[in-house]
Amino acid sequence: MNRLLPRPVGRVDWVLLVAVLGLLVLSTLLVWSATDHRTALTGGDSTAFVRKHVVNIVIGLVLMVMVWATDHRWVRIVAPLVYVASLGGLVLVLAMGSTINGSKSWIDVGGMSIQPSEFAKLAVVIGMALVLAERTEGRWRSRVGAGDVVAMLLVAAVPACLIILQPDLGTMLVLSATVFGVLAAAGTPRRWLALLLAAGVAVAVAVVAGGFLKEYQIHRFMAFTDPSLDPKGAGYNVQQARIAIGNGGLFGQGLFHGRVTQGGFVPEQHTDFIFTVAGEELGLAGSALLIGLLGVVLWRTLRIAARTEDLFGRVAAAGIACWFGFQAFQNIGMCLGIMPVTGVPLPFISYGGSSMFAGLLAIGLLQNIHARTVAPAAVRRANGAGLLAVR
């Protein structure tokens, strides 16, 4: 064993780890099937995308291990830096990002594309948890007060506004759900939660009625109910996604044998619509397995949240659960036609470095939190503390 490298200390949540690895394996197969025949994307090399995807996974796993091994106090110190960095990223993307599908969400740096909003979600969760922890630890009152709520909302608001400016509606929805979940898990009084909910709905109504959204944007949004509203754009996606998934039947057409997938009928199939590959080629059995694995991840995340004594850890874990849960629901729901078409990737499955890194960083953090939830005696038995082990 190389003693120079930091080692994860304490207990490992094996179920979480295995579930995530399972999702990653599935994701590799699905991305491969979605891209091997799409010569317009790959330029003829059928493994071009899956190789890049595997590289992303490996980097992500490395990041995960790094976070996992970091001492929790360092996490608390580094967290604000992460928050600021992601804010910087969001500003940068507005300034010099490329406009794709009507929104500026990507920065192209040296051949790589970075999507700052993916990191921003993690940053918001950590930021809010940190602010709450800093404010309540060592305080007499343990109830979450108005000031705490306002502080947390402010932390969330800045990135949120930057995201609206892109505009990235999908990430906004996920972020809103996440923020709400964090506040709820943090212990915000129910009355205020209700108020916030009402306020959110009011804002949404005002935006639509006030004509802030263009007609085509509304049509694109509503196309999931009636594909004919946007037949060449979102409506087409919705139609083809449904046909692909429906075509899968019980056991699917088999990997690399899905008619709709292999015919290239579903756009963005390796990114936002990756679930349709599972639906068509693995059928109900495979898709249910995929959803099940995601469910396991969420269950363990919430379990970590419930078990930890550390407020920061609890709130962060709950926030991560909301983020994954709602994003997964949004993405799969969009593929199934029960949610509007928005450009959010499926965590751990979609092709895309930013999403993969952000997700695995979060898992690393979760494992970190979980590790410290063990009795201190077990920790002291760890031998060979790495550089980052400060105790």
How many angstroms separate the CA atoms of 174 and 358, rounded?
14
The amino acid sitting at 237 is: N
- Which residue's structure tokens are 């991840």? 297
Q: Which residue in 216, 211, 218, 246 sits closest to 337, CA to CA?
A: 246
- Closer residue to another protein, CB minimum distance, 337 or 345: 337
Distances (CA, A) of 33 to 37, 132, 225, 357: 8, 44, 28, 22
Q: Which residue in 328, 331, 311, 348 sits closest to 182, CA to CA?
A: 311
Which residues, 146 to 175, sit near another protein by CB under 8 A? none
List Cβ<8 Å contacts ≥24 apart for 41-50.
41/270, 49/270, 49/351
Q: Which of 107, 125, 238, 336 binds another protein (CB under 8 A)?
A: 336
Residue 196 interacting with another protein (CB under 8 A): no
How many angstroms separate the CA atoms of 68 and 5, rounded?
12
Segment lying near another protein (by CB under 8 A), choices 53-61, 103-111, 258-266, 355-363: 258-266
Judge contact between 152 and 316, C-beta under 8 A: no
How many angstroms separate the CA atoms of 32 and 263, rounded?
14
Segment lying near another protein (by CB under 8 A), choices 50-58, 62-70, 107-115, 256-264: 256-264
Segment lying near another protein (by CB under 8 A), choices 50-58, 207-215, 310-318, 352-360: 310-318
How many angstroms separate the CA atoms of 99 and 121, rounded?
21
Q: Which of 59, 222, 299, 385 binds another protein (CB under 8 A)?
A: 299
Shortest reach from residue 316's CB to another protein, in Å: 13
Q: Which residues pair with 99 in a beta bridge?
A: 104
Q: Cα 124 vs. chain centroid, distance in angstroms? A: 12
Residue 242 interacting with another protein (CB under 8 A): yes
- What angle in degrees, to the nearest 10, is found between the helix axes of 72-96 and 146-165? 40
- Closer residue to another protein, CB minimum distance, 314 or 372: 314
Shortest reach from residue 40's CB to another protein, in Å: 8
Residue 270 interacting with another protein (CB under 8 A): no
Q: Which residue in 120, 190, 121, 119 sits closest to 149, CA to CA?
A: 190
Q: Which of 247, 342, 354, 355 binds another protein (CB under 8 A)?
A: 247
Segment lying near another protein (by CB under 8 A), choices 54-62, 291-299, 345-353, 354-362: 291-299
Q: Which of 97, 337, 343, 353 binds another protein (CB under 8 A)?
A: 337
Q: Which of 169, 294, 358, 366 binds another protein (CB under 8 A)?
A: 294
Total residues at the site for another protein (CB under 8 A)?
53
Q: Which of 130, 160, 169, 305 binds another protein (CB under 8 A)?
A: 305
Q: Which of 181, 343, 347, 364 binds another protein (CB under 8 A)?
A: 181
Q: Cα 182 vs. chain centroid, distance in angstroms? A: 15
Q: Which of 250, 376, 377, 381 binds another protein (CB under 8 A)?
A: 250
Shortest reach from residue 333's CB to another protein, in Å: 7
Distances (CA, A) of 228 to 182, 222, 224, 240, 390: 37, 10, 9, 13, 60
Shortest reach from residue 233's CB to another protein, in Å: 10
The residues binding another protein (CB under 8 A) are 37, 142-143, 181, 184-187, 232, 236, 242-250, 259-260, 262-265, 279-280, 283-284, 287-288, 291, 294-295, 298-299, 302, 305-306, 309, 311, 314, 318, 321-322, 325-326, 329, 332-333, 336-338
